[in-house]
Amino acid sequence: MKHKILLVEDDVNLAFVVKDTLVNKDYDVCHIHDGNEVLKALHTNKYDLLLLDVMLPGLDGFSISKQIRQQRNQTPILFLTARGLPEDRIQGFEAGGDDYLTKPFSIEELSLRIKAILKRTAKQEEAPVTFTIGNYFFDNNTFALQHKNKTTVVTKREADLITYLHLNRNKTVTREDILVQLWGENDYFKGRSMDVFIARLRKYFNLDASVNIVNVHGVGFRLEV
Asked if residue 155 lies in contact with residue 69, where contact means CB atoms within 8 angstroms, the answer is yes
**Residues 170, 106 share a domain:** no
Phi, psi angle pair for 140, to nearest 5°: -75, -10
Instruction: Tell me what the mean pLDDT of segment 159-175 comes to.
Output: 94
Q: What angle do CA 39, 42, 47 make, to 5 degrees?
A: 145
Cis preceding linkage at 57, omega within 30: no
**Per-residue pLDDT tens for 12-25?**
999 999 999 999 99
Q: Which one, of 77, 110, 82, 83, lies nearest residue 95 by Cα?
A: 77
**Residues 111, 10 share a domain:** yes
**Residues 72, 154 share a domain:** no
**Residues 86, 46 share a domain:** yes
C-alpha span between 119 and 143 (Å, rounded): 21
- Pairing type for strands 172-174 and 220-224 reads antiparallel
pLDDT range class, residue 127, cuts 50, 70, 90: low
Instruction: Tell me what the mean pLDDT of segment 194-202 comes to.
Output: 94
**Per-residue pLDDT tens for 57-109?**
888 999 999 999 888 788 999 999 888 888 888 899 889 898 999 999 999 99
Last residue of a domain, one of 78, 101, 124: 124
**Residues 158, 105 share a domain:** no
CATH of the domain at 162: 1.10.10.10
28: CB partners within 8 A, 6+ apart? 2, 3, 4, 5
**Residues 29, 120 share a domain:** yes
Q: What is the span of the domain harbouring residue 219?
A: 130-224
**Per-residue pLDDT tens for 34-65?**
989 999 999 999 999 999 999 998 889 999 99
Q: Tally the C-alpha atoms within 13 A of residue 69's C-alpha that lie toward its C-beta.
A: 21
C-alpha span between 102 and 224 (Å, rounded): 38
**Residues 74, 51 share a domain:** yes
Last residue of a domain, one of 124, 156, 172: 124
**Residues 157, 110 share a domain:** no
The count of structural domains within the chain is 2
pTM: 0.72
CATH of the domain at 43: 3.40.50.2300
**Residues 92, 12 share a domain:** yes
C-alpha span between 198 and 219 (Å, rounded): 14
Burial tier of 159 (Cβ tally within 10 Å: 0-12, 13-18, 19+):
buried
188: CB partners within 8 A, 6+ apart? none
C-alpha span between 149 and 152 (Å, rounded): 10
